[in-house]
Structures are given as C-alpha cells and as structure tokens.
Amino acid sequence: MNLWLSPHGIWYYRKVTTLPCGRRKEIKKSLHTRDKLTARSKVAQLLACVRSRPKSGVEPAEASETPPNQSSTKPVARAVKPLASLLSVLSDRYQKEKALSWAPKERKNQKHYLGSFIEALGDRPAAGYNKADVVMFKDGLLNSGKSPTTINKYLQKLSLLFNWLANHQEGIVNHFAGLKLQRVKETKARSGYTMEERQRFVQWAKRQEPYRRWIALLGLYTGARANEICQLYADDVQQVDGIWCLNIRSGRPDQKLKTVNSARLVPLHRHLIQSGFIEFVKERIGGRLFPELPHRQDGYSHLWGQWFSRHRPVDKDFHSLRHTVGTALKDHGVPLQYAAAILGHTNGAISYDRYGGDVSLEKLKEVIEAALSSFADAG
C-alpha cells in the first residue's frame, strides 16, 4: 500500500510515478498517525476517494488532450503539488548532508531536537508551520523546566534547519529567527555565598554520604570547578614539599581542563585535613577518587550537577562556591597573581603556569589559610 514510516514514527503514504516526459514524480502525504492499522485504513480511504473522482482530474494523459489555453490543465498540477515533502523527510535530507561534518554525538542531538519539534506540533510540510506554531513550541520549552542554555540549543538547531530549508525550497520562512533567549547574567545565582549561607552549606555537607560531602567541601575550600573535582584520581591528592595539594591536571585520557592555565597545584586548607579528607583518599588509592560518578557528556560532573541542583541547601549553584573563594581572596587583599594561581585563571595578559609563576606553594598555603579562615569557623 506504499506505506512508509518516518524516523519520528509518523506513517505517510508515498508513491513514485513516471510522467510522460520521463521525469519521476514523488507523491508524499502524512497520515498523522503512529498506528499502522489506522494508517492502512486512511490510505484505503484516500485511494477510494481518488478513484471516485472524474478521470479528467486524475489522469495526466487525459489532461494533456485539453487545449493548452484552458484552465482545466491547472487542477492537474495542483492535484500533485499539495503533496509536499513532510518536515520529517526534509530534516532527514538535511541531517544526511550535515552528517559529514557532525560528530556522532552532534548527530544524535540534532535528531532529538528536530524530532521533539515534530512530536510537539505534528509532521507537516515545512511551509505549514507559522510564527504562532513556533512561539507555542518555545513556550512549551519555557514551561518544561529546561535551562535557558538548553532552550537556546533547541531554538538554534531548529533555526539552522529552517535556514537550510529556505535556501533549498520556495515559500519557506525561518520563524525561529529572533526567538533566541537573551543571555542575562544571573547575578544572584553566581554571587558568592554569604557567611550564613556558608554555615548552612557546611552543616548540610556533613550530613551527606562521604563522597558527596568531600566534593562539596572541596568546592568550598579550593574554588575548583565541579568537573575538576569530580574527575580526580586518588593520586591527584599529593604531598609536595610537605604540603598536601590537589594536583588539578589532565594527565589521563578521561581528564580534561577548561584552559591551559587550569592546570595547577592547590594547597588543601587545614580544615579539610583535620576533618579526615586524607584518610578518605587513602581508602581509594589505585583508582578514581569518586568512582560513584560515571563519565557522562564528556565529563564526570554531569550527575553530580543534577543531584546538587535538587538537594542544594541554598538557592545558589555549585559554581558560586568558586565566586565565594574568589571574593574571599579579593577581600583579604590577596594579590591577583596569587588568586590566579589558586583558581586557575589568566591574570590579564599574563599567563601563569601550574605553580603560579614564581609563587611558592608555601605562600599559596598561607594565603588560603588566612583568606578562608572564616570558612572553617562555619563548620
């Protein structure tokens, strides 16, 4: 019965005929159903309807016998033209063309983004979507609880698709243009923790199971990024010149750093050592420090971030701990060079290596102990 199933699970009718001129004409019509029996029934009804029409409106051969200046030849062309390619079919062509330059992960993401749009609004010809449809889809994303960054990914990928379609077919408009969410600095979310919030955070961390407790406290006392902590191995906790440090590096294939300047040695605050962190590390010698976290989405911090967002003690994200440490260093009058060495930043036009240029570990240890002394009082 010429039934075909689109990659998004929508059945459609497809028939290829050869015109008298020798060209092939493809007819496609969405059946708007995922059920095969329903699809077969709709095709049967469609064919029955076509057969019941006068032949002059169906058969191209008879249409050619009509004088060329009469309008009766036009309905023949219109009978085929409405069967435009569905968005699912066109998006398949788009993905096949772009797949040559996409990584496997990107191909999977693209299929998800485009499929979600079709699932939400139905599989139609590309010109069948209007501005109101696209705005309704955007509103659905906003109400889904997705982050602005994720929503923008959906809108961006779909905008690229419709740009491509507009360049390949007449009558298609990219209604996604201009709908991208404006990136607003979340000053509240990315401001540092107050003293009261730090106290609540420390007390909350103490109640968590060991590996989560130490990830949280390492974030508070080192200002390290979430993935820098989550990807640590036990031998990344080292004693250098008698000082216990985190060796933040990309020494293994599954470890990565944000920038070259992110590689560094960060002295551990005495509160971490006194609270038993070194004993925790020794129990995990020979492997990852936090094997409870699997590698997901090109890093180890994905599941930690999800869990932290659901259970955090104050309405601030994990990265705000990094701002907390940076603010404490600044308020204590710590030179920018030292702060850059601790946080793994670039100081203006000057790049510091993993040891903070000529800043000794002993000096960094003194700075951390002094600037973060009030953090220990919170515990």
Tell me the C-alpha distance between 251 and 129, whole Å: 50
Tell me the C-alpha distance between 332 and 309, whole Å: 30
Task: Give the pTM.
Answer: 0.53
Q: What pLDDT is attached to residue 44?
A: 77
Q: What pLDDT is attached to residue 77?
A: 47
Other Cβ atoms closer than 10 A to 278? 14
Greatest CA separation for the chain: 100
Contact 165, 126 (CB under 8 A): yes
Structure tokens at 365: 């240890």
DSSP letters, 39-55, are HHHHHHHHHHHHHHS-G
Whole-Å CA distances, 26 to 20, 23, 135, 164, 311: 14, 10, 32, 21, 55
Q: What pLDDT is attached to residue 346?
A: 67
7 CB burial (10 A radius; 0-12, 13-18, 19+)? middle
Q: Which residues contact 284 (CB under 8 A, 6 or more apart)?
A: 234, 291
The tens-digit pLDDT sequence of the chain (379 residues) is 577 777 777 877 878 777 777 677 778 788 878 777 777 778 777 777 766 665 544 444 444 444 455 554 555 545 445 567 899 999 899 998 888 788 788 888 888 988 899 988 999 998 989 999 999 999 888 888 788 888 999 999 999 999 999 998 888 999 998 888 876 554 444 678 999 999 999 999 999 999 999 999 999 999 999 999 999 999 999 999 999 999 999 999 999 998 888 999 999 999 999 999 999 999 999 999 999 999 986 789 989 999 999 999 999 999 999 999 999 999 999 999 899 999 998 654 333 333 344 578 999 999 999 999 888 765 5
**All domains in the chain, ordered by first residue:** 3-80 (no CATH), 87-168 (1.10.150), 195-378 (1.10.443.10)
Tell me the C-alpha distance between 66 and 103, whole Å: 54
Q: What pLDDT is attached to residue 62?
A: 41
Q: What pLDDT is attached to residue 353?
A: 39
Other Cβ atoms closer than 10 A to 281? 19
Q: What pLDDT is attached to residue 9?
A: 75
Structure tokens at 328: 């404490």
- Strand ranges of the sheet holding 243-248, from the earlier edge strand across to the other edge: 237-240, 243-248, 264-267
Q: What pLDDT is attached to residue 162?
A: 93
Tell me the C-alpha distance between 172 and 161, whole Å: 11
Contact 312, 319 (CB under 8 A): no
DSSP 231: T
60 CB burial (10 A radius; 0-12, 13-18, 19+)? middle
Q: What pLDDT is attached to residue 22?
A: 67
List the alpha helices (DSSP H) in the chain: 36-52, 60-63, 74-80, 87-98, 104-121, 131-142, 148-168, 195-206, 210-222, 226-230, 270-274, 277-282, 302-311, 319-331, 336-343, 361-371, 373-378
Other Cβ atoms closer than 10 A to 119? 13
